[in-house]
Amino acid sequence: MVVRSHGEAAPPALTPLAGSAPTAAGPSPEQEQLAQLLRGFLGVMEQEIGELKTSIDQLKTSQEQMVRNNSAVAEQLKAAQEQIVRDNATAAEQLKAAQEQMVRDNATVAEQLKATQEQMARRIAKDSEQQLRPKTSAPPPRSIATSTPVPRLSSPQTRAQPLAPVRGRPE
């Protein structure tokens, strides 16, 4: 058997069929028809083998491309995961810093509130103290009313009479 390129075997040389006698005049028409039929089958088989080899090469190329694509996707996924880890770490640091700032702000507000409450308490105590102290100012002025002496009534009848209004005296 002769080997061709690409690992193909060359078709064997045609030999007379078993049971047929070689003739000096050449192959019989049946042998010739059989040989032609075999050559046709052989040509079809060679064509199919070539198509299969082409398909195999295409599959190999596709598989290699898939391997490259999968490798690229894996690298992208790994890079994305690393970026997520970095982003999460940054966000955690920012959150921690914000929480620490909130604690400081709360402490400042609490101090301000305490100072305001103490100031209000001092002011209230001072105002209360001023209200409770007796005033040391001059006594209120007396009203000087010019009053006429009220006559005394001696009899019970005169006591029953109404008194005339007196000027400067409330009724």
Task: State whether the Cα torsion 79-83-88-93 is positive or negative.
Answer: positive
Q: What span, in angstroms and rounded, lies between the C-alpha atoms of 150 and 159?
A: 12
Average pLDDT over residues 15-30: 65
pLDDT 10s digits, 59-81: 999 999 999 999 999 999 999 99
Taking 90 as the threshold, does the pLDDT of residue 12 lie above it?
A: no
pLDDT, the chain, mean: 81
Q: What span, in angstroms and rounded, lies between the C-alpha atoms of 46 and 48?
A: 5
Decide: pTM greater than 0.85: no
- 9 forms bridges with which residues in the sheet? 3
CA 97 → CA 12, 44, 83, 89, 107, distances in Å?
86, 78, 21, 12, 15
Largest Cα–Cα separation, the chain: 198
pLDDT 10s digits, 147-158: 566 556 555 555
The per-residue DSSP string of 32-96 comes to HHHHHHHHHHHHHHHHHHHHHHHHHHHHHHHHHHHHHHHHHHHHHHHHHHHHHHHHHHHHHHHHH
pLDDT 10s digits, 27-41: 899 999 999 999 999
pLDDT for the residue numbered 132: 82
Q: Length of the chain, please?
A: 171
